[in-house]
Structures are given as structure tokens and as C-alpha cells.
Structure 1
Amino acid sequence: MGKELLIKFAIVGCGRIAKRHSELLGLSQIKGATLAAVCDIAEERAREFGERFGVPYYRSIDEMLQNTEVDVVSILTPSGMHAEHVITAAKYKRHIVVEKPMALTLADAEAMIKACDENNIRLFVVKQNRFNVPVVKAREALDAGRFGKLVLGTVRVRWCRDQSYYDQDNWRGTWQYDGGVLANQASHHIDMLTWFMGDVESVHARAATALVDIEAEDTAVATLKFRNGALGIIEATAATRPKDIEGSISILGAGGSVEIAGFAVNKIRTWQFGDHDLGDEQVMEKYSVNPPNVYGFGHQAYYEHVVDCLVNDTKALVDGHEGRQSLELISALYESIASNQEVKLPLEVKHSKLGRSSQ
């Protein structure tokens, strides 16, 4: 793929998150990328997106990929459908971007990785919060060893998703296609926690469905033990009322502490280290951003990363294997909730309902 070429993306799934993806690709906000086609089984949705961005629209992935020249397919359908759609697109030997979580079962995640490997294509899993400006800065501090021995990592997701949100589509909040706050809203934060703290040894989680009528949970808490001896806490709820409060991460180590808060992990609230570094005073002001919504600005940096990986044949920050690792932790949380037991990793799923039909 030559450096002068425009990489053509197609979008599968024209729901809520597709607005963000389509505007970035369709309004020339990503250098070297363009939107070439859209697809959704609901023709009105597909037509609306197609007409807005002046691209062909389809109801079938097969029809779209047989009739449109695209380099990358972005799969933005319900989580429980990701595997089916990724495997279909992989047969056409197109690179794939898939929204979080990459799947709801480890078997599906492994089938997706296998299909992409067999067709010699790249699989990119969307974890845009890793590209948030303050998160990147904190990761630089981690890589430089400034935290020293890690002690405690916590994430908090305090967002508002009321009944009208779940009523938009019949798959929302279901075990088979979506899961609850852990699999959906908090999956980015859970991924970030392990990105900073390392591999997880065991988890113990509890959950409740507090304020909405759905199959899965809207509120959950968990404690984690990491293999390096550090501990972790996950607090996640979509039952914050009347509006979002925060999406945050805290990393505490022997050498220093960082807390990144805001409603989209966008604002450095604490930045303190024992070994003073030039520029520490400016970090809180310089590396905090004020995004328009909980999606933040990370999707733009994420797509720029995908384009760079394809043009220069470089390694993806979050490929299928990295996405699977994040999913294994989410699956362990659900296994712990279902069994009311501490669950060790690697995981053997016995009780979790995630990704399974409720029938």
C-alpha cells in the first residue's frame, strides 16, 4: 500500500457510535483516509449515512464488498455480532477495525483472530482511550519507571444510561449481544487498567441491575490482584443520575501517583512523583483536554494510528491478541459475578451468561 494512496474505509453498523466514526472518515478529518461505503441491515439507517457522506449504502456485507473497492472494514455492530461480521469481511481479505469489546466470548475472539490470520489481514480493536493525551503522558511515565513498584490501580465509570438509551435497540443490555456496564461502557477503562498495571491473577466481582429493566447489570464493583502483587479496584455504573460524572483511572506506585479524571479520562487531576522531572509543573495544564462527549478525542488518534500501521507496516497498539486479553478479564468478572466466587486467570468459563442466548 503506497504512502500516497488514500485508504478507503467502509462502515458496517450505522448505530450510535457510527456517528463518530463516519464523521472522522467522511469529513476528511483523518489524513490518508476516506469513507467509501456504509452498511446496515436497517435500510433507512444505511441510506441516511450514505446520503449524508455521498457514499454507496448497502444492507449486506457481502454485497458491499463485492461491489465496492475498500481497504478496511470498520465493524460497529452490536458486540455479540462482531465475530460473524469480522469473519465475513475477512474472507474478502480486507483489513478490519472492530469496536470494543471485540467479542463477548473468548471462542468468538479466537475465531476472529484465526480468520484474519488465515486471510493475512490486520485486525485492529478500538481502544481509543489509550490515545487520550493525558493517558499517553501517564504511560510515558510508567515506561520511564517513574511509578516504581506498583501498589494500587483503580478505575471509575460513573455514567448515565437511562431506560430510553436501552430502549433504542432491542439488543442493548442483553446477554447475547451486549452485556452490561462492564462489557460495554467500562470496557475501555478495564483495558487501560491492565495496560498500566499488568497481567491479572484473580478477580472478585459483584453486580446489580439497579435502575433499568435489562438482562445484564447497570452497576458493578470488583477487586483485582495483579501478578506483580499490586491490587486493583473497578467501580462501574451506568446508573448515575441525572447525568455523567466521570470516567477515571488512578495509578499509585512507590515512586508517585497519577489520577486522570474528567468524564472521558481526559483531565489530569493528580500528577506527583518523588523524583522531580522538568516539566512536571506544566503537565496538569498542558496535557488535559476538554472533549465534547464521553467518546473524547481518542477515535481520531486511533484512526491515524491505523492508517500509519497500514502505510508503514508497523505493529498495532491493540491487535486481536491484545483485544482478547482485555476480553478475558471482562469474562472473568462476569464469571465471578455468576459464581459469587473469586476467579483466577487464565479463565475457564463455567457460569457466565455473557455472549449466551437467554432463551
Structure 2
Amino acid sequence: MIHFSIVGCGHIAGKHLEAIARTEGAALAALCDTNEARLSELALTWQVPVFTSMTDMLEQIPMIDVVCICTPSGLHVDLAVAAAHAGKHLVIEKPLALTLEDTDQMIAAVARNEVKATVVHPNRYRPAMQRLKAALDQGIFGKLSHVSAAVRWNRGQTYYDQAAWRGTKAMDGGVLMNQAIHSLDLLLWLFGPVTETKAFVDTRLRNIEAEDTAVAVLRFDQGLLGTVEACTTVYEHNLEESLAVFGEAGYVVIGGKTANWIKHWKFASMTEEESRQIIAEIDQDPFGIPGHQCIIADMVQALSEHREPTITLQDGRRAVGLVTDIASQETKVSS
């Protein structure tokens, strides 16, 4: 049995709690947060020891194998480095960190202490994305021309005002780090390294320090072109998250409010009926096994099989690096 603990018991911790509970070979050992009222509620529900200090938790519950870090992003590095020095394996929420310097500190600590670590990029496990990856690996697109990723969501001012860290550069990182990094990770996973970026990044509508809107053009290692559009400024509600891929022998568009549904699937090598069957198959179960559960299960398997987790810290670093490249082209426009 692999014993997990969670540090940071806000909204995202719920996904980790559910994932641990549903994963064979995983057990919850302890919880840690600075909010004592929240801890009291969770202690009643999950019946595990709770702590306001990670150091105290690790000292008093030595059976802990893995620490899930679910705090605001700017706090990841210190906690991850400390847990690694304590000999604990790590599951780190996205983004891995907010700077490349911090990601490198974490990678070095993990290597030095010979522990295993993964970063939470769960969208790779969506059934539609898995099907797209298989199609790319099979080469049925032919030569690719371009790709396009969009995150057109709403995060109103009340969302940012709920917690002082939201919308800050030091703790949140803005729409690219906090919301669109999943789409950027998918682009890197599916199409490889980005060699050039051109972008405009701005804070258009929200009263926050970080950006709420970004548009970028990318060139990938093999010459493939791409576009990225990300915002939290869509009026009233989330509109869509999408990924579109175009090649000489076919195209795919995955979309919906979250990119879980295949909207278009057309290839020269497939009949219309075959394409409809694939779309219908995804429609029957667009969410599949939750991505967080896949990541927790992968950590359990990695430890039992003495291998590295499927999603590595280098994967997390590449996503942070792409955000850094895009966000460095920030342009403030006078209102």
C-alpha cells in the first residue's frame, strides 16, 4: 500500500482525495493546510490526522510515501524541495512552478534525494486526447500544416477577489499559468518542442496583476505552426476550450466547454461512417477515468515497478518554459 498525504486543502485537493480513494494500492495517510476550520471538516470526513505544518506531518506520520502538493502555485517550490529532502515522492499540481529557476530547484532536489515526482497534467488522459494522440502516432494526418488551441473562459472579478493570491504574479501567474497551461502541455506532448513564439499578452478587463488575455503564434521544431488564444474575460460564463489539428490528409477538432468532445474527425483514409463511430464512442464517455486518478494510479505503479512516472518534471518544466516565453512579451495597453 502506498500512503499519500495532501498539502493544501483547497478546491483542487478534492480531486486528489477522490483519486486516492478510487485507486487500488493507494491510501490517504494525512492532510495539511493552514486553514484549521477546513482541516476540521476534512478530518471528520476522511478520518485521518490533520496538520497545519508539513514538517510536523512528515515527522509524526513516517509511513507517508507520497506528498501531493496542492497549494497556490507560488508555494510549490519550497514545499516540494522540503518533502524531497525528507525522502518523500511527489505529486505536484500544475503548474510545476511559476519560474524556470524554481522548476530547476525542484528537479535538482528530486534527483539528489532519489525520489520520484510527477506534475498534474490530467488532460492527456481524456479519451478524445488519447484518440488524437493515437491518430498522430499512426501518421494518418499526413504532413501537418497547423494547430490551434483556445481557452475562452470566464473568471469574474469575484473569483479573483475570493483569495488574495489569485491573479498575482507571485502566486497565480495569470491565465497562461493557471488556466491555459493544460492546453500548452497538450501541444508540447502532441507536437514536440516550440522553437519560436510571437505573442501579445495583456490585462484587459480584470483588476489583477497578472494577465487575463493572451494570443500567441508558435513555430514547432518540425516547422508546424500553431496559435494559442487564452482568456478569462469571456462574458458571464465559460464558452469553450478547444484544440484543432490540420494536416494534408485530415483534420480533427476537439471542443466543448472543456475539450472533451470530438466536434470534427475527418480523414482521407476513413469513411464517414468510421468517423461517426469514433465521435459516437467518445460521446458515450467523454470524461473517462478522471485524469487525477490516472496520475495517482501511475505513481503507485511507478513505485511498485521501480520506474519513473509517465508525466515527468521535465514535462512540467517545458510547459512553464512555454508560458514564460509567451508571457515575456507582455504588452500593457492604456484604457
TM-score, structure 2 as length reference: 0.93
Q: CA deviation at 1:297?
A: 2.8
Matched to 1:299, the amino acid is H
Q: CA deviation at 1:300?
A: 2.0
Q: CA deviation at 1:50?
A: 2.4
1:268, 1:287 within 8 Å by CA — same for their partners in 2? yes
2:203, 2:332 within 8 Å by CA — same for their partners in 1? no
Pair 1:303-2:296 in alignment = yes
Q: CA deviation at 1:112?
A: 0.1
Matched to 1:335, the amino acid is S
Matched to 2:128, the amino acid is P
Instruction: For 1:207-222, list aligned pairs within 5 A.
Output: 207-222=201-216
Name the count of aligned residue pairs.
Answer: 330
Specify the alignment match of 1:58 in structure 2. Answer: 51
Provide the secondary structure at the position in 2 that maps to 1:181. helix
2:81, 2:106 within 8 Å by CA — same for their partners in 1? yes
Distance 1:135 1:249 in 2: 9
Pair 1:187-2:181 in alignment = yes
Provide the secondary structure at the position in 1 that maps to 2:22. coil
Pair 1:235-2:229 in alignment = yes
Specify the alignment match of 1:17 in structure 2. Answer: 12
**Higher percent of residues as helix:** 2
CA RMSD between the two structures: 1.9
1:153, 1:197 within 8 Å by CA — same for their partners in 2? no
Matched to 2:4, the amino acid is F
Match of 2:36 among 38, 43, 46: 43
1:128, 1:299 within 8 Å by CA — same for their partners in 2? yes
Matched to 1:64, the amino acid is M
Q: CA deviation at 1:339?
A: 10
Q: CA deviation at 1:304?
A: 2.0
Pair 1:88-2:82 in alignment = yes
User: Which shows bigger deviation, 70-79 or 40-49?
Assistant: 40-49
Q: CA deviation at 1:255?
A: 2.5
Matched to 1:59, the amino acid is T
Higher relative contact order by CA 8 Å / sep ≥ 6: 1 or 2? 2
Provide the secondary structure at the position in 2 that maps to 1:161. coil
Pair 1:281-2:258 in alignment = no
Instruction: For 1:77-156, list aligned pairs within 5 A.
Output: 77-156=71-150
Distance 1:122 1:337 in 2: 35
Matched to 2:319, the amino acid is S
Pair 1:34-2:24 in alignment = no
Q: CA deviation at 1:338?
A: 5.5
Distance 2:296 2:140 in 1: 29
Provide the secondary structure at the position in 2 that maps to 1:172. coil
TM-score, structure 1 as length reference: 0.87
Q: Deviations over 1:30-67 (max 9, x none)?
A: 22212111101222222222222111110111100111
User: Which shows bigger deviation, 191-200 or 278-287?
Assistant: 278-287
1:264, 1:291 within 8 Å by CA — same for their partners in 2? no
Distance 2:107 2:321 in 1: 14
Matched to 1:242, the amino acid is E
Closer, same or farther: CA 313–258 of 1 in aligned 2, 3 Å: farther
Distance 2:308 2:138 in 1: 21
Pair 1:312-2:312 in alignment = no
Structure 2: gaps (5+ residues): none
Q: CA deviation at 1:279?
A: 4.7
Distance 1:172 1:245 in 2: 21
2:127, 2:287 within 8 Å by CA — same for their partners in 1? no
Provide the secondary structure at the position in 2 that maps to 1:316. coil
Q: CA deviation at 1:207?
A: 2.2
Matched to 1:114, the amino acid is A
Aligned sequence identity (%): 39
Provide the secondary structure at the position in 2 that maps to 1:287. helix
Pair 1:7-2:2 in alignment = yes
Closer, same or farther: CA 214–236 of 1 in aligned 2, 3 Å: same
Distance 2:145 2:108 in 1: 36
Pair 1:262-2:246 in alignment = no
Match of 2:152 among 142, 149, 158: 158
Provide the secondary structure at the position in 2 that maps to 1:182. helix
